[in-house]
Structure 1
Amino acid sequence: MIRLKKGTFGAVSLGLAAAVMLTAPMEADARRKGSFGSRGARTYDAPAATNVAPRQTAPVQRSMTEKPPAGAAATQAGAGAAGAAATAKRGGMAKGLLGGLLAGGLIGALLGGGLGALGGAGAVMALLQIVLIGGLLFFLFRMFRRRSAAAPAPAMAGGPHGATGSAFSGFQPQPAAAPAPTPMGGFAAASAPQQLGEDIAINDADRRDFERLLMEVQDAFSSEDFARLRERTTPEVMSYFAEELSQNATAGRRNSVAGTRLLDAEVAEAWNEGPVDYATIAMRYESIDVMLDRSTGDVVEGDPSRPTDVTELWTFKREPQGQWRLSAIQEA
């Protein structure tokens, strides 16, 4: 057994700590964390996975959109189960009643409990009674079957809004004939779960708007330009940006974002809710994102010499006769 001399243990511990600090990756990104905003009726649903963001993205965490009642799905499922049980009960009662009549009639006839029980005439009457009872049973059986068929089918839980893994039918964005070279990757359509709202097509003009908004929002946030942010975001997202900028200012810091470049993008979901359009886009982009000391300009977080690669889901909203505006951001 090797024994360490006095003082050696402390030296070894310091050496190990230094090695861990040198080998551990340092945080080189000062960007915001979490997710916020609104995706309309889909705010609390997870967006569809894409090639750009293949992992399941969590629903929006901070939102002013009211959550749907927690027991709505359970209530619907309970109603469906109760309807199925009632239908099964009707079927069981019908079968039991018909079986009882059949058994009782036949036994009564064979034991002579009918119109006649002795002699040849009694036998003929017994057979006639069996035929009459059989006709009555057939009539009752047909009546019960018609009633069961006319009963409404029970409501099934997990309809279009609750289904997962299915694709939008006919969800095909309009392809650009000859797209101009841009830093974006292929803006392809991905499979998305069927949810509230009808799917819409995303054309090349929409794609250019999404890329432009990515650049302009990042630049306006870095410049702390409230007017430009207000023009390009919904009031809810603007309130979150204003809160973050205020917190940075209170802490004596400023978030600088430069060199934003879109590397790849893909449509996750695109739909409308009445006259309002929504589009959730998986975006992978790079930028130099650092936190600066507000008074000295020194870097306090991030690496000003190395751009960071990040993937986020940005949801855009378009009012009637309006332009696309940023309405939610989610970490992918």
Structure 2
Amino acid sequence: MRRYGKLFAVMAIGFATMLVAVDFAEARRAGGFSGFGSRGTRTYSAPPTTRTAPTTAAPIERSMTPQTQATRPAATQNQTQAGRNTGGMFGGLAGGLMGGLLLGGLFGMLMGTGFGGGFGFLGLLLQGLLIFFLIRWAMRAFGTRQPAYAGPGAGIARSSMAGGEGKPSFEIPRLGGGLGRPRAPENADEIGVGQADLDKFEGLLKQMQTAYAAEDYAALRRISTPEAMSYLAEELGDNATRGLKNVVRDVHLVQGDIAEAWAEGAVEYATVAMRYESIDYMVDRTSGHVVSGDPDDVGESVEIWTFVRRHGTDWQIAAIQSADDQG
């Protein structure tokens, strides 16, 4: 125990640090939300990167969408299938061979014989070397013969993780910008998102921030799905419990790209990368003193917002993911 005391201490400190990091990650950052909501069958797949958000978005960690074969990312499916094929490090025929050798050697040593029972320590040493080289041979012989598995959607996963270099993207216009109809990245927009939709997305960004700051539950319920509303209400409730209030104002959209847009039956989804500026800070509910953030400093955030609608209905906010570089 003395030998491994330092190792256990380092592991304990690392585990404690990880828990603290997770706790901070769950809280709403100034100018941004943690990953929550639903993107249909693409909930647990990373949206394609864009010019506005060139880094991979943070995964959605809070969602009511179950992780089924249809919603599980292709990379995870491939790893799971590969694990089944190889049986892990000691799986398959190689695992059986190594297990048999180790068990036989252990039994032999307990009985005082083994492969080299008549040669004392030298025999024991030879036995160990023999087992080592047999294990090494078995791992090379059987471990490299497993075929790479490409499950359904593997090509989609690769293209989703690829960068947006060389692909045209549009900029969501600033207020009064007067830009013409934008162009989405090639093969990203499957439903034909128009200028009216983009104006709606920009409006929902500002309405969300305004309603969140005002703790207007009715407005949040109107512009977001019931699931997204539940997470927003949870964050507002946590702030109230801690005696804090989030102030958000002067929200200004700087740039935006369509990451992907698609339909699932009668439901349409549009995932949009948005870079926006705002003044965002926390105050004490009782005294009004600033607890965190700067009421005079404009901060910038990059987030991935997913909107959803059924035919004949308005767009609603369905999911929000951070895409800041530090995230």
Q: CA deviation at 1:238?
A: 0.4
Gaps of 5+ in 1: 1-28, 82-155
Paired letter, 2:150: A
Match of 2:45 in 1: 45
The structure with the larger Rg is 1
Match of 1:260 in 2: 251
1:306 and 2:301 are equivalent in the alignment: no
Match of 1:61 in 2: 61
Match of 1:95 in 2: none
Paired letter, 2:313: G
Paired letter, 1:213: L
Q: Please show how residues 1-332 of structure 1 align to structure 2 within 5 Å.
A: 30-69=30-69, 73=78, 157-160=150-153, 162-166=155-159, 181-182=176-177, 188-190=183-185, 199-332=190-323
User: How much is the aligned-residue C-alpha RMSD, in angstroms?
Assistant: 3.8
Q: CA deviation at 1:68?
A: 2.0
Q: CA deviation at 1:61?
A: 1.5
3-state SS in 2 of match to 1:58: coil
Give the structure-1-normalised TM-score.
0.59
Q: CA deviation at 1:79?
A: 11
Give the structure-2-normalised TM-score.
0.60
Distance 1:183 1:31, change over 3 A: farther
Match of 1:132 in 2: none
State whether residues 172 and 201 of structure 1, in contact with CA within 8 Å, keep that contact through their aligned partners in structure 2: no
- Seq. identity, %: 44
State whether residues 316 and 326 of structure 1, in contact with CA within 8 Å, keep that contact through their aligned partners in structure 2: yes
CA deviations over 1:224-258 (Å, ceiling 9, x no partner): 00000000001111001111111111111100100
Count of aligned pairs: 225
Deviates more, 1:256-265 or 1:292-301: 292-301
3-state SS in 1 of match to 2:156: coil
State whether residues 269 and 306 of structure 2, in contact with CA within 8 Å, keep that contact through their aligned partners in structure 1: yes
Match of 2:97 in 1: none
State whether residues 49 and 55 of structure 2, in contact with CA within 8 Å, keep that contact through their aligned partners in structure 1: yes
Distance 1:229 1:299, change over 3 A: same
Q: CA deviation at 1:31?
A: 4.0
